[in-house]
Structures are given as structure tokens and as C-alpha cells.
Amino acid sequence: MIRLIQFTDTHLMQDPAARLRGVRTLPSVQACLAHARRRHFPADIVTVTGDLVQDDPEAYGVFELLFDQFAAPVLLGPGNHDIPSELRRRLSHAPFQVGGLRLAGSWQIVMLDTWFERSEDGEGQLGQDEIDRLDATLAAHRDRHALVLLHHPPLRMDAPSLDQLGLLDAAAFHEVIRRHPQVRGVVWGHAHQSLDVYHGAIRWMCAPSTCMQFRPRDDYFATDDRPPGYRVIDLHDDGGIASEVVWLEGYAS
């Protein structure tokens, strides 16, 4: 079994007291990391699925200090609030890996990049190169179960304000996924909430942010009063996935 722990949307800023919609993002991610270490480690892979920082290039130094503590590889993908050139410059040494593929046990874990230059309001796009890379990677490892990670929601989350700003080329993504039956799970962030559904044999999962949450399935954008959280994903040798979202109940910001 391969254990992967997903943190997402850490939205760090250089100022340790900085808040995102009322929540101080540094202590909340620290609380999530401490909780996970206590309850769910050792892990084989740690992942952070985007929006590592809140538009602040200096905050990658804070991120580096926080996540450098893991013996496990830390697989990163950019979100719309990241600055990819700076993310790669600061975090391209072990244990960090930005994008790409990891092979572990009978699994392949593919991290996609949905950041694109012309995003105006936070929407994401894979682009043809990234779609082709996913297709080629899955074709090259047909014998391995696949878990695909990205920042933007690849399916509708029943919240118009989020769905308008989702993954622009989701249709092309689904076309590739349909061609590769070994894909067992797709995992993302961006929506600051938990979702866990099956479509066919594929499990589709969103993790809450390590800071503040959005209210699920609402016609209008609103913040939720749920605490910080993260997701634990156990990848079994036979292709089965066991996963739970862990909430820091009682966390006071």
C-alpha cells in the first residue's frame, strides 16, 4: 500500500500574521501538518495541489521551511495564485518535485499543471502540451493503476461561482481519461471544500484547504465555517483507494 497525504491551497504569505478571509494561513497549515504527522504518518508521498502562496513570491521561502521536514517526496503543482517560475526556482530540490510523474508500488501518480498565463479570474487550463503529456504517460504505464492530481476541479461542483472558473479544457481532459481504464482516481483542490464521488470506476475527490473553506453547493460564493483540513489517500496494490478527509475540528483561528 502507498499512503499519500494531500494538503492544498495553503495560500501562504510572507507576513506570518497575514489572513485570508479571516484565517491566518501560516498557523493553520502548521496545525494541519502537526495533526497529520501525529495521526497519519509515515506517508510515502506528500502532495500540495496548488495555491501554495497567495500571489506572494517571497512566501515560497516560508513554504520551503514548512515542508522541508518530510522524508517523503513532496509533489507540487501550481494553482492560479502561484507564480510558477518562482515556485520552480525555490522548490526544485529534494524532497520537492514540481509536476511530473512518480512511480510507487503498483501505482503511477501524475501531477498536472493547470496554471495559464491568461487566467483572469482564477480559472485553469491544461493546454495541449499537458494533455498530450498525460496521454503519453498513461500510455507508457498501462500496467500501473493511476492517480491524477491537479489544482482546478475537472468536474462541476454544483456551485456556479466556482464552476464558471473551473478547468476550461475539462472536456479534453475527460477524453484522455476515458482512453485509459487504469485511471482509478482524480484529486484536486482550489474549491476549498470536500467532495468524494464515483463516476463509473473512477473516484473523484476534492480536499478542503489548510486554511479557510467555501460553502459547498451554493448559488452564491460564500465562506464556510468549517475548520482547516487535509486528505489521506491509501492506494492499495489491487487498485483500490481508501480515503478520508481529516478536519481539524475545534481549530480556532
Question: Given the rule CB under 5 A, which residues bind Fe ion?
Answer: 51, 79-80, 190
* CB-based contacts of 160, cutoff 8 Å, min separation 6: 219
User: Using omega within 30 degrees of 0 as the cis cutoff, is the peptide bond preceding 160 cis?
Assistant: no
Work out how close the CB of 219 gets to Fe ion at its nearest, in angstroms, rounded to a whole number: 20
Q: Is 11 left (phi over 0), alpha (psi -120 to 50) or beta?
A: left
CA–CA separation, 140 and 26 (whole Å): 39
159 vs 235, beta carbon nearer Fe ion: 159
Please state the closest distance from residue 111 (CB atom) to Fe ion, in A. 15
Minimum Å gap between C-beta 127 and Fe ion is: 17
| CA 187 to each of CA 4, 77, 118, 233: distance values in angstroms, whole numbers, following the listed order | 11, 12, 24, 10
Which residues neighbour 200 within 8 Å (Cβ) at sequence distance 6 or greater? none
What single string gives the DSSP state of each residue in 173-201? HHHHHHH-TTEEEEEE-SS-S-EEEEETT
Q: Which residue is nearest to Fe ion (CB)?
A: 190
Nearest residue (CB) to Fe ion, 78 versus 185: 78
CB nearer to Fe ion: give 79 or 99: 79
Nearer to Fe ion, 148 or 241 (CB): 148
Rounded least distance, CB 210 to Fe ion, Å = 13
Shortest CB 126 distance to Fe ion, Å:
15
Which residues are 148's β-sheet partners?
110, 186
Of 80 and 97, nearer to Fe ion (C-beta) is 80
Closest to Fe ion by CB, 155 or 241: 155
Q: How far is the CB of 40 from Fe ion (least distance, A)?
A: 24
The angle, 0 to 180 degrees and rounded to 10, between the axes of the packed helices 59-67 and 25-40 is 20
**Residue 78 DSSP label:** -
